[in-house]
Structures are given as structure tokens and as C-alpha cells.
Amino acid sequence: MVTADRAYAVESLYFHPEQRLGASNKSLCRLLHVGGNCGTLRKKKGGAAMTYQAEREAICQVGKLLYDRGYAAANDGNISLLVEEDRLLITPSGVSKGRMTPDMLLVTDLDGRVLEGDRHPSSEGKMHLAVYRGRPDVRAVVHAHPPVSTAFAIRREGLETPYLAELAAGLGTVPCTASFAMLSTQEVPESVVPYLPDHNALLLANHGALAWGGNLWEAFDRLEVVEHTAKIVLNTRLLGGGVSLTAEEVARLQGLRGMYQTLREVRKTT
């Protein structure tokens, strides 16, 4: 079974979050990597306490990246973060991910009941909950509609041909669900569940892309890798086709995952 942390080091071994968020946001960068629970409180307008302030700000930062990079237009996409074992922070319905503010996010339990917030949680909350239930190691889920990978989803074609060494050693294959699942129904989580044990990202037929990870930044990066891979595969086809890695080469690349994981653990302690 693929774990949320198992392959992430090869995906962003040399990445420093300050490069994206700026040196003034170092505490936020640490949160994005660690996925920890700060449990901070800040007063909302009107005087009510707002929990998980740092986590809310982190989700808004990721939402802005989704919007700015064209992965989520208008009100598309949704993001969630497991802030405690029985508490989920999730984006609201009907709000652009590029214009969210921390007070818009909702706290729910793992049955989807709203515990804090005055908006409706994402209509795809059931899909997020299915990922957390199926993968206890996961702490964050990101869903969006990146244009090229969504085009592959419309073709109902996964990104499974081993063209890229980095993908073979890191994220691994990205399958596509076999059929369309009606939005906002139980069909969506049911379509995702079979892929959870062995994958960390998925294309949703005629819908979009979904990725999960051990922290918020890992989930976002995996979704970005899906879109980047889709662009490369598309360009390869425009050039007349490519040559895939052999089964032996893929196996050797997958064997590097343990080394990259060790390097990542060293980074955490330094």
C-alpha cells in the first residue's frame, strides 16, 4: 500500500516553501509541510472566536494558488485539512478559491456535520471524507479542474504510461475512474474508494483531478504534478508519440523511494 509520505521526497526534495510564500510566511510554510494542529484562536467579526487560524490561512493560500495557476476557475474546486482526529477544516460551496478568507471555512466532524461556520461546506465533502476513511495516513485532500488533466479525465484515460522517471519514482501512476459519478452524490466517493490503497492521486471521469497527502502542501503538489504530467504527455503525442520506460527501469526507479524517504526524514530533523 502506498502511504501519503512514502514518495513525496522525490516530488519536492529541494523545495523550500519560502520561495512560494515569501520569507514573511515561514510559520505558514512550516504548517503546510508538517500539517500540524496549531489550534489557535482569533476573534471573528462580531466577537465570536475562530479556531484553527493558521490552518485557515494555509488553506486560503493553497486556494489562491489553485486559482492563480488556472487549476480552479470561478467557484470550482475544494480543499480540506484534518486538523484533529475528529475535526475537518473544509472550504465552503459557492466561493472562488482565489477570493476565500479564513472566516469562510467550516469546521465539521467526520460525519460531515458543521460544528463551526455559517456557510455550506463543499458539496463534495463526502468525497473528502471517503479519502480520510480509506487512508488513515492522509491529512489533506485537494480537488480541482486543471485543464489538461481534466481533458484526459473527459477521455476517461489515466496517466499510467511510464514516460517520466520522476513520476515512476515519486507519485506513481494516476488512474482514471471508469465512469462518470454524479456530482454531490454518494456515487462520487464510491468511485474513489477502490483507488485509495495504491494511489495518491486520481482523475475523476468527466470531472477533474483529486490528490491527497500527509499534509496540505503535499496534497497540492501532487495535484500540480498530475497537471504537469498531463501537459507533458499531451506534448509527447503532438510530437508523434514517446518511448516509455521498461518494466525493469520502473522497478529500479521505485526502489529509490526508500532512499528519498530517508532523506526526507533527515530534513525533518535538521
| Integer Cα distance of 254 and 209 in angstroms | 23
- From the list 11, 57, 124, 227, the catalytic residue is 124
| Integer Cα distance of 261 and 238 in angstroms | 35
Put the strands of the sheet holding 140-144 in their side by side order. 114-116, 106-108, 87-90, 78-84, 140-144, 208-213, 201-204
| Integer Cα distance of 164 and 156 in angstroms | 20
| Integer Cα distance of 54 and 206 in angstroms | 34
| Integer Cα distance of 44 and 51 in angstroms | 10
Sequence-separated (6 or more) residues with CB below 8 Å from residue 198: 1, 2
Active site residue 124: yes
Q: Which residues are catalytic?
A: 124
